[in-house]
């Protein structure tokens, strides 16, 4: 899916223009990148819609279903990825990588009870 494009005029200092020319930096690419960076999380860099949801796993575009950013799990600090899931761990928001750690804690408690 390709978004229609348009021409925008912008005014920049001459020295900056010369610098960009010298560096061979494509102005269209530069403008697109800079604009997206300045508004990160507000507009989708894939489909350019603004229907973005802030969920525990990260930021997702509801129009094209692409992830814009992944958070790290607040409990085990693991980074979320495309395949990772969010799950409830004792009333807190955890992730797929959490359970092993939680199981260990439970075993420790049982050990204390048996003594």
Give the C-alpha distances (Å, rounded to integers) separating 71 from 6, 24, 25, 74, 75.
Answer: 34, 35, 32, 9, 12
Look at strands 52-55 and 58-61 and give their pairing.
antiparallel
- Residue 22 or 65 having the CB closest to Zn ion: 65
Min dist. Cβ of residue 49 to Zn ion (A): 5
Q: Check residue 86 for interaction with Zn ion (CB under 5 A).
A: no
Options 23-31, 34-42, 91-99, 106-114: segment touching Zn ion (CB under 5 A) = 91-99
- Residue 29 or 100 having the CB closest to Zn ion: 100
Q: Which of 75, 74, 57 is nearest to 66 (CA)?
A: 57
Look at strands 92-95 and 86-89 and give their pairing.
antiparallel
- Residue 26 or 50 having the CB closest to Zn ion: 50
CA distance 62 to 51: 6
Min dist. Cβ of residue 24 to Zn ion (A): 30
Site of interaction with Zn ion (CB under 5 A): 44, 46-47, 61, 63-64, 73, 75-76, 78, 94-95, 97-98
């Amino acid at each position: 899916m390709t978004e229609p494009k348009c021409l925008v005029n912008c005014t920049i200092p001459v020295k900056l223009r010369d610098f960009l020319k010298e560096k061979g930096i494509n102005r269209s690419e530069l403008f697109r990148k800079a604009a997206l960076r300045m508004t990160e999380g507000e507009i989708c860099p894939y489909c350019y819609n603004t229907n973005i949801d802030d969920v525990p796993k990260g930021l997702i575009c509801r129009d094209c279903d692409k992830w814009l950013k992944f958070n790290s799990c607040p409990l085990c600090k693991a980074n979320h990825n495309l395949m990772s899931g969010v799950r409830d761990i004792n009333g807190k928001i955890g992730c797929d990588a959490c359970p092993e750690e939680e199981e260990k804690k439970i075993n420790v408690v049982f050990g204390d009870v048996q003594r």
